[in-house]
Amino acid sequence: MIIVRTIPELRTEVRRLRQEAERQSGRAEVGFVPTMGYLHEGHASLMRQAKEHCAVTVLSIFVNPIQFGPNEDLARYPRDEERDLKLAASLGIDIVFLPSPEEMYPQPTKTTIHVREVTEPLCGASRPGHFDGVTTVVAKLFHIVKPDRAYFGMKDAQQVAIIQQMVADLNFDVAIVPCPIVREADGLALSSRNVYLSGEERKQALGLSRSLRMAEEWLEQEPGLTAEEVKSRIRQVIGEAPLADIDYVDILTFPALQALPSGEPVGQAGSDVLIALAVRFGRTRLIDNRLFSRQGGRLCSVK
């Protein structure tokens, strides 16, 4: 596994491995997994997908300062480079790109990418500027790595919708591959931030995935429920945990992320539907979601 920390080295190595792969097998697709490190099984699933589909795989580990707000957890964001590199090597990743903040931002950036509308609801409302930081760094990474395919987890479903929009609007020559959420056996969605949770907070955080499973059952049994009714039931389930402080519970179309017409049954939505939540436990903010898609005339949960 090649480890590089500078942009010129990364470009050289990607070019070299791409040419080598082309010579050896005629296949030269570069698969890219951008991350902020502190890797877990969710990231591993992205890396496995990239390995399966691409001749050359690149992983980036970069805690991107410009996507954190002034009161967010940039300084205490968990890091473990040694463990991350071991995991990447065990999965057969070809190149790991570990740039410093100075390498990525030698001077404060005067150019940012702002995607309109899809950035406004959900996490965009509670983390102003966050998605501009994400799209800006992802655009930079795409220019640096030049991948054919880039892999993103659906736990950040809004991030996936925004990046797909950016790629379409700005004609990036890369296929975005959304990958399913990976969960612990008890349902908790994997996140690098789960390490912040105390034992009690972690127990109470199970209300997030439980409420989403229940929402799936409600929609199956009562497709006439409106978004307001489902949201209020979800709030009730999560609210049973005394430590839970709900940031948002929302039900929107996907990937446009628009509100469903007021009073209309969720089961009659004309597009895919995303139920998304963000809940704080102490200083830790967790997100989770479930995507529903129409199959055989019925709205079904996408596994």
The interface with ligand PAF within residues 149-188 (CB under 6 A) comprises 156, 159
Measured from the CB of residue 73, what is the shortest distance to ligand PAF in angstroms? 13
Measured from the CB of residue 62, what is the shortest distance to ligand PAF in angstroms? 6
Candidates 54, 134, 179, 287: give the one binding ligand PAF (CB under 6 A).
Answer: 134
Q: Does 85 bind ligand PAF (CB under 6 A)?
A: no
DSSP the chain: -EEE-SHHHHHHHHHHHHHHHHHHHS---EEEEEE-SS--HHHHHHHHHHHHH-SEEEEEE---GGGS-TTSSTTT----HHHHHHHHHHTT-SEEE---HHHH-SS--S------STTSSHHHHHSTTHHHHHHHHHHHHHHHH--SEEEEEGGGHHHHHHHHHHHHHTT-S-EEEEE---B-TTSPBP-GGGGG--HHHHHHTHHHHHHHHHHHHHHHH-TT-BHHHHHHHHHHHHHTSTTEEEEEEEEEEETT--BPPTT-BGGG-SSEEEEEEEEEETTEEEEEEEEEEEETTEEEE--
Candidates 45, 57, 67, 158: give the one binding ligand PAF (CB under 6 A).
Answer: 67
Could you tell me which stretch among 78-86, 111-119, 134-142, 253-261 binds ligand PAF (CB under 6 A)? 134-142
Could you tell me which stretch among 80-88, 132-140, 223-231, 273-281 binds ligand PAF (CB under 6 A)? 132-140
Q: Does 286 bind ligand PAF (CB under 6 A)?
A: no
Q: Does 145 bind ligand PAF (CB under 6 A)?
A: no
The interface with ligand PAF within residues 35-54 (CB under 6 A) comprises 35-36
Does 40 qualify as catalytic in the annotation? no
Measured from the CB of residue 157, what is the shortest distance to ligand PAF in angstroms? 11
* Cβ closest to ligand PAF, residue 155 vs residue 231: 155
Q: Which residues are catalytic?
A: 43
What are the residues binding ligand PAF (CB under 6 A)? 34-36, 64, 67, 134, 137-138, 156, 159
